[in-house]
Structure 1
Amino acid sequence: MEKTFFWLTLVLNIIFFSFLTTSFYLLFSPKVSLPPLPPILEEEFWNLTIIHTNDVHSRYDQINSAATDCTKEQFEAGNCYGGTARHKTLIDRLRNKSNNSLLLDGGDQFQGSMFFTYYGVKINSKVLNLLGYNATAIGNHEFDKGPDSLAAHHSRLTMPIVCANINTTLNHSLRKYIKPYHIFKEYDLAVIGYITNTTGGISNAGPTLSFYDPIPTVQYYVNKLRANGIKRILTISHNGYGPDKELAAKTYGVAVHIGGHSHTLLANDTTLPDYDHALGPYPTVVRNALGEDTLIVQAFWSGKYIGHLDVTFDMKGRVVNYTGGPILVDQSIPQDPGVLELVKKWREPFDKYVKIVIGKAKDDFNQLNCQRGECTMGNLITDAMLESRNNSHAALMNAGGIRASLLKGNITRENVITVLPFENSLVEIEMTGQNITDMLEGVVSRWENKLSRKKITSFIQVSGIRFTYDSSRMMYDRVLEVKIRNPKTRKFESINLSEPYKILTNDFISNTGDGILPYPIEYIPIGNEEVEVEHYIKSRCMIKPYLDGRIEDKSIKHEDIKPINIHEPIHFRYQL
């Protein structure tokens, strides 16, 4: 017992004197500067490669500069672009150069070529799966065959389909495939999808679907994701360049918006063949609702370009560095042999039929100007419509329905199908002079229908009508003069507001498509747009593009005002 007490006392004394010694040293010894510990990094950076497409419109084989089928002669001259076989090569190259990459699509894979006309939606899902997209948005043309066909397409896809502002409550077949966003857990990143809320009026979406304003919807899901710890957020949209800029400015928390719908080329490289049609830089930088930079990108249409953006994020999900641009998919990019053989196999059932030459073009017919005013493609199509029924007064169609140009030389059946792919019916409706004038006021105001308040999403092309307007005047007071053809005398006369007129158009417009008419108008079926244009070209053998002043803006032209693009009205120009 005494030994235990002795040893315990000894240990306690040693501890006590050690404490006194250490305290004395710390209090009275000279201070020594020790090297600082390495600082904890306040910000951690992470890189991502974004590869993106939009509005490919079933151009799965190579195309020419008019976005129609590329001929042997054009290939030999080095004038072919795009196609799934080249996309495969380029996408694989970009993926192999990056540790972190996402391949995203902004919608409208459907419609626009014989691959869609012949196969319907079957080839579209094969191509998306083949190229290995990581996520896709929904385009308005994805509804061209109705919601059931879209659901069948979605059932075959191996990637998520994102669209936050579509109400699928009444459509259970689509509801199980579409979600507002997808989280890529390996990247701690989310992608939100959205679509133009005009889709109900410009598509065959049907009564079981409705579309919300994307601005509050996107912000709602951004807040939800950030509350759950997701800070890196992208969007893929089918909403148009102008509306995307508005959404980017009115929301916050999104780093990059990958767009579609307006077929917009964004570019910095002045050597690109389509640079003159670029509507902004790539990327376009917009200050969001918190004053932070957010990026907008889009890659033209028809698969002629593939977008490529390298982005560096900070730990808060903000973009701190970026580089990239649209890549021209020209013949310098080899076609993947396996995919090329697959495309040839897909073409076999219809190839001979569509290659039949139906006439010749003396020069190029231009589609790119059809949303600005009178265009040579619009004159050709509406003149053909009017000739099919000479006792009608006039013909009109939506410029958005003209999907390609025609190049000088042979015109094949496939060229016509590519220009007019929607299989619209040609119909005759009756409108008074007042109805026609009201319609023209809405179209040239480029905003919304005065009666229905529905957005007008396309300009028009006409035959048998000549009108002048002044775009600098107040909205709905721009039309200066309207003359209409008398089918008996073949002469143009001033329009009579109370007189009824027989107008040829397509069933899309007569059912209020693109908001051009305020309400559906009962019609008489006449034929098919595409067939009538083919007959018109065949009857002439050689056709020549021309403008004759049938649509004229009398206002002073300002170079700083850029023309609208497909389905993208200038909503704020001279707005009241």
Structure 2
Amino acid sequence: MVVGCKSSVYHPPSWNYLTVDSSITEHQQAKQLIEPYKNALDSEMNEVLVFSAMEFPKEKNKPETLLGNLVADLSLEIITKKFPETKIDFCLLNNGGLRTSLPKGEITRGKIFELMPFDNELVIVTITENQLINLINYIKKVGGQPISAISFDFSTTENNDVKQLFEENGLSSINILTSDYLAQGGDNMNFFLNPVKYETTGIKLRDAIIAYCISEHKKGNKLNSKLDGRIRFE
């Protein structure tokens, strides 16, 4: 066996700037290659799923918002219908995960992708009394998050109310619908870590929103929501 050896030669890297502006023309061959895929994607994203009766603005630093209430309510509705034998006590999401406003009028599939660009899955997390107390303290500290099927009045609510809730109903744990991102401690929701139980649903939050929009449109309904005081500080 003969093995040839050759000394390695170092070649320093080279580079140069390319200015990208209006003087750069389209590469027609590349454009023709991707155009069928672009047209198909545009057609899908421009599909009108439902009409909205109002604008749902993305808002910060508020106890509750129209957008947050809408998404929390529809998430709970979709999963409750999908898993009727599973008891879900309430839903908790986060405002940060909702990335844009929804306009009044046409709501397209593409707009829902803008609203929820992440592949977050809805999950059911079972937590203890102490974890629930930490959850409530968290919501109080951050000034509110999207919730459904529960309300908090922080002008009166104390931790002993939670203890009374558990004692009177013979509870040892409580089931909460949330996203897998939050269930893993995202957005500082560390009270979800080390749960009693963690159940996947196989349904992405974005898909739940899309399914709800399509369902409401088939019923002849428009997207609607309201502020109902589900989180109060005074």
* TM-score with structure 2 setting the length: 0.71
Structure 1 residues 332-411: aligned runs within 5 Å: 347-369=38-60, 371-390=61-80, 391-411=87-107
Identity score, percent: 23
Alignment correspondent of 2:83: none
Distance 1:482 1:389 in 2: 30
Alignment correspondent of 2:148: 463
Alignment correspondent of 1:508: 181
* Secondary structure of the corresponding residue to residue 389 of structure 1: helix
Please tell me whether the aligned partners of residues 428 and 505 of structure 1 are also in contact (alpha carbons under 8 angstroms).
yes
Distance 1:428 1:397 in 2: 12
Alignment correspondent of 2:137: 441
Q: Aligned to 2:223, which of 537, 543, 553?
A: 543
* TM-score with structure 1 setting the length: 0.31
Q: Residue deviations 1:89-143, cap 9 Å, x none? A: xxxxxxxxxxxxxxxxxxxxxxxxxxxxxxxxxxxxxxxx8759xxxxxxxxxxx
Structure 1 residues 185-224: aligned runs within 5 Å: none
Shift of 1:434: 3.3
Give the AA of the match of 1:468. Answer: D
Alignment correspondent of 1:528: 204
The 3 A distance-change label for structure 1 pair 549 and 459 is: closer
Q: Residue deviations 1:296-353, cap 9 Å, x none? A: xxxxxxxxxxxxxxxxxxxxxxxxxxxxxxxxxxxxxxxx5968998x9684351111
The 3 A distance-change label for structure 1 pair 337 and 499 is: farther
Distance 1:464 1:482 in 2: 20
CA root-mean-square deviation? 3.2
* Structure 1 residue runs without a partner (length 5+): 1-128, 133-335, 447-457, 471-477, 485-493, 555-576
* Secondary structure of the corresponding residue to residue 406 of structure 1: coil
The 3 A distance-change label for structure 1 pair 427 and 384 is: same
* Secondary structure of the corresponding residue to residue 174 of structure 2: strand
Give the AA of the match of 1:377. Answer: L
Distance 2:53 2:25 in 1: 35
Shift of 1:536: 1.3
Distance 1:130 1:422 in 2: 32
Q: Residue deviations 1:345-385, cap 9 Å, x none? A: 6843511111111101001012123x422011111111111
The 3 A distance-change label for structure 1 pair 421 and 495 is: farther
Distance 1:513 1:418 in 2: 20
Give the AA of the match of 2:131. Answer: N
The 3 A distance-change label for structure 1 pair 438 and 353 is: same
* Secondary structure of the corresponding residue to residue 50 of structure 2: strand
Distance 1:483 1:532 in 2: 33
Structure 1 residues 53-68: aligned runs within 5 Å: none
* Secondary structure of the corresponding residue to residue 182 of structure 2: helix
Please tell me whether the aligned partners of residues 112 and 210 of structure 2 are also in contact (alpha carbons under 8 angstroms).
yes
Q: Which has the higher strand share?
A: 1
Distance 2:62 2:25 in 1: 38
The 3 A distance-change label for structure 1 pair 419 and 482 is: farther
Distance 1:385 1:348 in 2: 31
Distance 1:482 1:461 in 2: 23
Structure 1 residues 412-427: aligned runs within 5 Å: 412-427=108-123
Structure 1 residues 80-95: aligned runs within 5 Å: none
Give the AA of the match of 2:233. Answer: D
Give the AA of the match of 1:352. Answer: S
Q: Residue deviations 1:379-401, cap 9 Å, x none? A: 11111111123231111112110
Larger Rg: 1
Higher relative contact order (CA 8 A, sep 6+): 2
Q: Residue deviations 1:464-500, cap 9 Å, x none? A: 1100225xxxxxxx9548999xxxxxxxxx8427542
Give the AA of the match of 2:56. Answer: F
Structure 1 ranges of 4+ moved more than 4 A: 129-132, 336-342, 344-347, 478-484
Please tell me whether the aligned partners of residues 394 and 504 of structure 1 are also in contact (alpha carbons under 8 angstroms).
yes
The 3 A distance-change label for structure 1 pair 338 and 387 is: farther
The 3 A distance-change label for structure 1 pair 339 and 368 is: farther
* Secondary structure of the corresponding residue to residue 55 of structure 2: coil
Please tell me whether the aligned partners of residues 360 and 410 of structure 1 are also in contact (alpha carbons under 8 angstroms).
yes
Distance 1:379 1:339 in 2: 46
Please tell me whether the aligned partners of residues 400 and 459 of structure 1 are also in contact (alpha carbons under 8 angstroms).
no
- The count of corresponding residues between Structure 1 and Structure 2 is 194
The 3 A distance-change label for structure 1 pair 531 and 431 is: same
The 3 A distance-change label for structure 1 pair 481 and 535 is: farther
Q: Which has the higher helix share?
A: 2
The 3 A distance-change label for structure 1 pair 495 and 377 is: farther
* Structure 2 residue runs without a partner (length 5+): 1-17, 81-86
Alignment correspondent of 2:124: 428
